Amino acid sequence: MASSKTLPPEILTRDEVLSLLAACSRRAPTGIRNRALIAIMWRCGLRVSAAHSLKPADVTKQQGSVAVLYGKGAKSRTVGIDSQTLDTLAAWLEVRKGYKMGRQSPLFCQITKGREGTPLDTSYIRHLLPRLARKADIRKRVHAHGLRHTHAVELLREGKNVVLIQRQLGHGSVAVTNTYLAHLNPQEVIDAVSSRVW
């Protein structure tokens, strides 16, 4: 049997991601934080490491953008963020104000007394997603990189070109982006091509 590291990420449907978000508490501060974290990874296509490194100042509501200053290979980039994700993030920022945070505290940080403002452990995020998937009754393997692949496939389905998707994901080449887009199911490929006219 293949190890989990060799299994390709499974693409989630929109309903599955919404169920994952709904599995986060809307009242508990940790649930509000986790919901915002999942939303930003999904809707911005961020790696865990990039989401983990974000500061509140990296998100610009007026421009609808997120500055990813610590991308893979130490590359920085700016990505787009939609208004619903900004609203979800605003709910977390409002809750976050009630805790003692240092100036350099990450956007998604711990809120446990005595640990307020310290970074979330990446293992917390790795365990969070499968736990929420079980709660949401999602049968697929759910992990952060799968949200990134889901984002790429959704952009393609919305008609965005591969170069734009490449820039959003911060890939060095279109070839890498194409591996993300290989997750389209065969029927989508057939439908897209068979419906063309000339």
Whether residue 34 is predicted with pLDDT greater than 80 in this model: the reply is yes
Is 133 inside a domain boundary?
yes
Is 185 inside a domain boundary?
yes
Whether residue 185 is predicted with pLDDT greater than 80 in this model: the reply is no
More confident residue, 71 or 23: 23
Is 8 inside a domain boundary?
no
- Residue 98 belongs to what domain range? 14-194
Average pLDDT, whole number, for the chain? 86
Whether residue 70 is predicted with pLDDT greater than 70 in this model: the reply is no
Is 2 inside a domain boundary?
no
Is 69 inside a domain boundary?
yes
CATH number of 116's domain: 1.10.443.10
Please tell me the distance from the alpha carbon of residue 103 to that of residue 106, in angstroms, as a whole number: 9
Model pLDDT for residues 8-25, shown as the tens digit of each residue: 678 899 999 999 999 999
At 102 the pLDDT is: 81
Is 6 inside a domain boundary?
no
- Point out the least confidently predicted range of 17-31, 125-139, 143-157: 143-157
Is 127 inside a domain boundary?
yes
Structurally, how many domains does the chain consist of?
A: 1
Please tell me the distance from the alpha carbon of residue 47 to that of residue 36, in angstroms, as a whole number: 14
Is 82 inside a domain boundary?
yes
Closest by alpha carbon to 9, among 138, 132, 149?
A: 149
